[in-house]
Chains A and B, each alone.
Chain A
Amino acid sequence: MLLPLIALAIAAGAPAQQPKSLYDQVVMRPDPSNGFDDYIRAADAINDGYARVYMTWRPGDYDRLLKLAGNSTDAATTERLRLAKELDEGGYLGVQAAMAKRYGRALDLLRQGNQKRVWDPRSLGYRTPLPEVPVLYALVALCCSAAYTDYAKGDPKAGTRDLLDGLSFASNLEPNSMIDLEKGMAWEPILMNRFAGSLGNISEADSRQVVAFVDDQMQRPLAYASALKRQRDLVVSSINDIVTPGLKHREYETPSEAFTWTMTAEQRNQAAAAIVDGVNRRYSDIMQMLDGPESTWNSMRMEVPDPDDPVSDVDTFVRRYVEGFGVPGSMSLIQRERTSMRLLGLNARIINFRWHNNRLPNTLAEAVPKDRIRDPISDQDFVYEPNPDGTYRLYSKGNAATGIIELRYRPSGSGGNDQVPPPGISAQARG
């Protein structure tokens, strides 16, 4: 028995057979004071190839997988089948609990990282690989699973902490780069949706914790401004990479990348200077816009250029980079994210009021300081509508670009999502 185990251990330890961890790929100079290192370790802890089985689980997965597997008997398929069967037996709650348990170490590392300053230790270049990006989302899903499990088992304090940990994680990464910002903005609605579904479980003490968290978040410098500065620095430092073709043609190239093969040296110099100049000007314009009221943040035209539009001359090539600078989807996403955070804080204050008074506030002013009632995005007050059945609706009127914003994210045109409000509660929150 011992010999085969040793043989296995040796085989597992053999460098040639062990894939490089994300940590080894990303963190060249470990720094214990940098939370980013912990995040990458957390990503490694969840990157065992099975997290997706939990994240995408639907009832009946085992039968579906069984059909797909056919006669396959390899170890990975066998393990997936075993796992799918186990998850099918546990139901939704069982899956969340199993994920939270299996990846508890990852959650611990994420929390550890949250206690520290966070910065990307790499000097990002135009072609820097970002292998951690697809894995980090699993950590957000893990926070949601842990929260669901903790709320279900009657530990709302832990459930609320799980969700706030997820939000901290997302917001700590956002200032690092435009890619991180986009990720954070994509993850935040997932966490907010879970919060919206858990409002009924939030205790008085939790509501205070949420208020403190939101207040802290809203006092922080705007992540977008930081990410924007880094993007500008990246463009400037990588300008040669931008205008120079790679060593060989890639299987898929954007029209801009393909165009670099056709440019002369002189055209490349011309384009580099124009891009740096354009990006600097645009950076100044955006920063100036951000100094103004939030309701005016949509004043600049910021549309993502279609990367597949043809590029046949230097001017178009330059314009593509300059117009694409500083556009994380659109400005409305940033407004939506900030508004969601404010709505989370307002909901927590309403819940706190309700616990203290055994009734909902008649008006927002009863539960919320005066300066928080105004919604900077719409430049009007947040809308609070208490219902006779003890539920309420709270939302921002938003603006033309965002539409109405609620804590529960509803993609425009959709009838809702798969999150269920607490029992006995209508679609609106019940504090």
Chain B
Amino acid sequence: MTISFLVSGVAALLLGQHQTNYQRIVVHPNPANGYEEYVRATDVVHNYKLSLLLSWTPGQYDDLRHAKEAVFEKPARGPGKWSDDDDQRLAYAKQLHDLDYLEIQKIASHDFGGALDLIRTGNLKQVWDPREKMDAETIFPELADFKTVAKLVKADAYARFASGDSAVGTKDLIDGLTFSRKIAGGNLISELVSIACQAILYGEFEDRLPQLTEKDSESMIKFAEASLAEPPTYLQALKREAAYAINSLDLLFADPGRNDDTQAGQENPISAYVKKMSPAEKRRAKELLSRNIGSYYDNLLRDMGTDESTWPTVKDESGLPPVPATITTIEDLSDAILNMMTPIHSQATLAVLRSRTQLRLLDLHARIIRFRWHNNRLPKDLKEVAPENLIADPMTKTTFVYELKDGGYRLYGRGLDSTGPIDLKYRRPANLPGQDDGPIPPLTSLSGSP
């Protein structure tokens, strides 16, 4: 695999093509770092064919065909230009047209399974983001592809379960979850991408519950127990977020207004103030901001503590100075920038808590399944399958809900007002405000978004 990557890397350079994620991210290769395999996996999955396979629907080809017709037959009303790449996509979609969902999953698994091998190799190593410094100019091209990797894991697991090999299917999903959890902690974005990847795999686990065997349940319990014993990566991500923000100050002061919306015709008051500052003032302001950012995150981490049941009570605005009406002093500037740079933590915190709830639910589902195989009946209550500490739901400070109904059961966390009930597959209640599919950007105006 390494040789093929080297060959493809050289070929890309010779042809003057875009760099691979691996080339962009891994400057000093380190065979001990599993992140490198993960990034290599993203280069495998960054492929239009896989994109079509993973988004396949029975109507995919017709939709693309109609889109092309719209461009060529009614150019005035068409959605845009039609490229050679689009033609390539259309041709591949035509090949997939007469297949069904299972066949599509099998093709994805067969043609892109190399990515999963890389994930498994990476899982066996220590994993850390190899970037030496992260600031507002840092891009994270691998993160979007990490979600594709999670979807590929799901496809492979589906094909395995369909063929009756639940042990490999379960291992797939656990490998996928291991990968998803290991990519977290680098910063807030990677934390949120990790959560998104985990959500994809928890959802697949819920769909596969009926197929899980006694042996599968043992593997799941082992995984969940080990994962729950690890400290949450979220706190580490917040610490790194502070460093990320401080690193980004240089850019802000070196090139004020670089991200201003010039079309609006109104200058950003922060940029306007910074442009007028002397180098000495800028140095002073940076020092002040560094202290304030550090202090803000220190306070945030102190307020949150290690007990996750207290996390929902920590509000975004706590620890933040008021937003100044105008910027006339360096202190005003610091307050304004701090408010601007600080991500909306409460949403991220909820996402983290929801994901940890799902991990606990996975553990309990596995225990229920194991119990059922051992006793040929469902447990009457959760106490029959798990100790008190595993039945407790820290997010709500209550216990998980287990309901026997119609010969089956439902297991869920009560959640909070802002999440609604949380099942293994999270279904956002329709009455809650919408949520972006992608991660929340940490630096709302300064960052080069991934």
Interface residues of A (CB under 8 A from B): 91-94, 148, 151-157, 199-201, 203-206, 355-358, 390-391, 416, 418-428, 430
- The stretch that binds A, out of B156-164, B242-250, B432-440, is B156-164
Query: CB-defined interface of B147-172 with A at 8 Å, one 1/0 digit per residue?
Result: 00000000000100111111100000
Complex CA–CA separation, A316 to B408 (angstroms): 53
The contact size tier of chain B is 35 or more
In the assembled complex, which residues on chain A have CB atoms less than 8 Å from the CB atom of B407?
Answer: 416, 420-421, 425-427
Q: Is the interface of B mostly helix, strand, loop or mixed?
A: helix
Could you name 21 residue pairs across A and B whose Cβ atoms are closer than 8 Å?
Answer: A93-B376, A154-B167, A156-B211, A157-B164, A200-B209, A200-B210, A201-B166, A203-B163, A204-B102, A356-B101, A391-B408, A416-B407, A423-B209, A423-B210, A423-B212, A423-B372, A423-B409, A424-B408, A424-B411, A426-B408, A427-B408
Q: Measured between C-beta atoms, what is the minimum distance from A246 to chain B in Å? A: 46
B374, A355: Cβ atoms under 8 Å?
Answer: no
B214, A356: Cβ atoms under 8 Å?
Answer: no
A424, B376: Cβ atoms under 8 Å?
Answer: no
Query: CB-defined interface of B363-386 with A at 8 Å, one 1/0 digit per residue?
Result: 001001100111111100000000
B166, A424: Cβ atoms under 8 Å?
Answer: no
Most buried by A among B161, B163, B211, B411: B211
- Closest chain A residue, CB of each to CB of B167: A154
In the assembled complex, which residues on chain B have CB atoms less than 8 Å from the CB atom of A427?
Answer: 406-408
B162, A203: Cβ atoms under 8 Å?
Answer: yes
Confirm or deny: B258 has a beta carbon within 8 angstroms of a beta carbon on chain A: no
Interface residues of B (CB under 8 A from A): 100-103, 158, 161-167, 206-207, 209-216, 365, 368-369, 372-378, 405-411
Most buried by A among B158, B378, B407: B407
New contact pairs (11) apart from A203-B164, A424-B365, CB-CB < 8 Å? A156-B211, A201-B211, A418-B377, A422-B209, A422-B210, A423-B408, A424-B210, A424-B410, A425-B408, A427-B408, A430-B210
Q: Contacts A91-B374, A92-B374: A423 and B368 contacting too (C-beta < 8 A)?
A: yes
Q: Measured between C-beta atoms, what is the minimum distance from A152 to chain B in Å? A: 4
Complex CA–CA separation, A422 to B161 (angstroms): 15
In the assembled complex, which residues on chain B have CB atoms less than 8 Å from the CB atom of A357?
Answer: 100-102
A154, B100: Cβ atoms under 8 Å?
Answer: no
A205, B164: Cβ atoms under 8 Å?
Answer: yes
- Closest chain A residue, CB of each to CB of B372: A423
In the assembled complex, which residues on chain A have CB atoms less than 8 Å from the CB atom of B158?
Answer: 358
Q: Measured between C-beta atoms, what is the minimum distance from A85 to chain B in Å? A: 17
Most buried by A among B369, B408, B411: B408
Q: Measured between C-beta atoms, what is the minimum distance from A420 to chain B in Å? A: 5
A152, B375: Cβ atoms under 8 Å?
Answer: no
Complex CA–CA separation, A356 to B162 (angstroms): 9
Complex CA–CA separation, A152 to B365 (angstroms): 15
Complex CA–CA separation, A199 to B215 (angstroms): 18
A421, B100: Cβ atoms under 8 Å?
Answer: no
In the assembled complex, which residues on chain B have CB atoms less than 8 Å from the CB atom of A421?
Answer: 407-408
